[in-house]
Structure 1
């Protein structure tokens, strides 16, 4: 078998894994949207659908990991190709954890609904942070598919916006709990829900850092955005 044919097969296998990672990302994005819808509409049915999607996300993680292990064993990739395969693996792990956070959101929504929480609680205030997190995931997937370091840096900058939304929401919840102790239990559920949204943003940030590692060969974890921007752009 010619080297050219082997190379063509390898490229096909890499493209297949890349497609699967994007599909998995789309599933996780739908989980997040469904969890936010469940909260805004107080819908247990929508919350239950998040758990159903979670099973598919977990199955895809196992399948992608198996494909990656097979490729590494059969192809013995060079340093750059191995870096790509490792990036696929780490991106998949981050997507699976985002799915876990979306499932956690759905469980909190169910707890809030079944606990008879008043609709006056500021649950809709989470929509801004949730939309930001969902948007970050979409951008991270697009940047990963294009290996776009400029977009990756933009994602890192936007992460602060989600953190600020979370901090503001926590302050508002504290006010509600101080004014009416009966809201403490559902407010804590909302707090955990907000934390799950923040973590989804953190995982998108991790994928953005992976893109920079893959393209530039630089490990930018625990590095300030300013330093990353100077080194990458």
Structure 2
């Protein structure tokens, strides 16, 4: 999804930062890195920060002389800035920028994100080439971000928006809700189990099941949770039949 997203570093001062940016690009699924007029670029200094995993991103980076060359062919260009106010109106945050980028990319566009020099950022002349500007909110005690930090913050938001399904740590997306029919099966199974352990009264078990039903009505039960509860219920019934009162040992 982010194949047409381009990260542009404008006149970066330190090769180590370029290497760190390459690694950030790899982490967030971006392979298109363009560097404009780097100051004393040294591949040997940049490689250790890229790590062996992002080496190919760094080595395939395009180096050009002007910002115009770097954004050539793009349908939208967004610059980063720490300066706000004045004529710089309607500045986006990383989250709102990610929404715009996602819309442009899904519409078949090609988008460039431009990050300025570490010491002074983009000038008015350079931002004139941008479709919009973005700033990363920070604490007033420390408003300056390392170049690679800024890149990874912005790309992280773009990466999240690019996912067709929400990312779930440690596993697949959440399973579907249990259907009404499945819930009725579970309630019937629960009733048999609670009768087996003498939790429900035999005279009117449907009535005594009402609090259980009300409890589950407050929960958006998922299919995997339904399976879990059914398994527990079956195991309890098996235990009662095998080791319960009246069973010969």
Shorter-chain TM-score range: under 0.3
TM-score normalised over the length of structure 2: 0.23
Higher RCO (C-alpha under 8 Å, 6+ residues apart): 1
The structure where helix makes up a greater share of residues is 1
Q: Which has the higher Rg, Structure 1 or Structure 2?
A: 2
* Higher strand content, 1 or 2: 2
